[in-house]
Amino acid sequence: MNDPHPTVGLDDVVHQRTRLGILALLDSGASMEFGALRDALHLTDGNLNRHLKVLQEAELVATERRGSGRPRTWASITATGRSALAAELAALRALIAAAEQ
Amino acid sequence: MNDPHPTVGLDDVVHQRTRLGILALLDSGASMEFGALRDALHLTDGNLNRHLKVLQEAELVATERRGSGRPRTWASITATGRSALAAELAALRALIAAAEQ
């Protein structure tokens, strides 16, 4: 019996291109402001909002409003999000290793 | 000006989990029979059919019917498909490298 192909275990919530970008960026540091995240990933406000909502519902990302006057949204990765991203990256490493054989 | 984030250039046609699995498997050898591909990726007939159709329309995969009596479908990756997969894997390598910094 062979091991399952590395793509079989991928979770679409994490693997989807935009959400993978959001998680990877948030994993690399502290929280990021909405506009910075949007610009780094070349997204529209609506697109970022939609994907943040999916990530929040899966408890992979948390958001909070900060500041007075015009408060801004800041996003951060949760511990669950870090684990999910680590599992995704491990599967991608296995995929790349298989491709290089 | 920083380079765009590695996920920005990902193509959903190739990046989607199941299609990435199909392309990676076909890239590793010659053509594969429909049932072997379905089983290797833990798919249903309908799911594999749907994704093969997307890949064919993008000219990344070709299929042909072989055999007499009950002919079977065989799938193979095209030269365009190999290039697209190579670009995807390069972006994933960049993502992993950034995550390891």
Q: What's A64's domain CATH number?
A: 1.10.10.10
Tens digits of per-residue pLDDT, A83-92?
A: 999 999 999 9
Rounded to whole angstroms, the Cα distance separating A101 from B50 reads: 29
For chain B, say whether A82 makes contact (Cβ under 8 Å).
no
Asked if the Cβ–Cβ distance from A21 to B40 is below 8 Å, we say no
Tell me how many domains chain B contains: 1
Indicate whether A2 pLDDT > 70: no
A57 belongs to a structural domain: yes
A98 belongs to a structural domain: no
What is chain A's alpha carbon radius of gyration, rounded to the nearest angstrom?
15
Indicate whether A1 pLDDT > 60: no
Rounded to whole angstroms, the Cα distance separating A34 from A56 reads: 14
B63 belongs to a structural domain: yes
Query: What's the complex ipTM?
Result: 0.90
Residue A97 vs residues A1, A25, A52, A91, B13: alpha-carbon distances, Å: 19, 24, 31, 10, 22
Residue B49 lies in domain: 12-95
Task: Find, among B100, B96, B71, the residue nearest to B6 by Cα.
Answer: B96
Tens digits of per-residue pLDDT, A51-72?
A: 999 999 999 999 999 988 888 9
Which residue of chain A has the CA closest to B43?
A8
B61-66 and B72-77 strand pairing: antiparallel
B56 belongs to a structural domain: yes
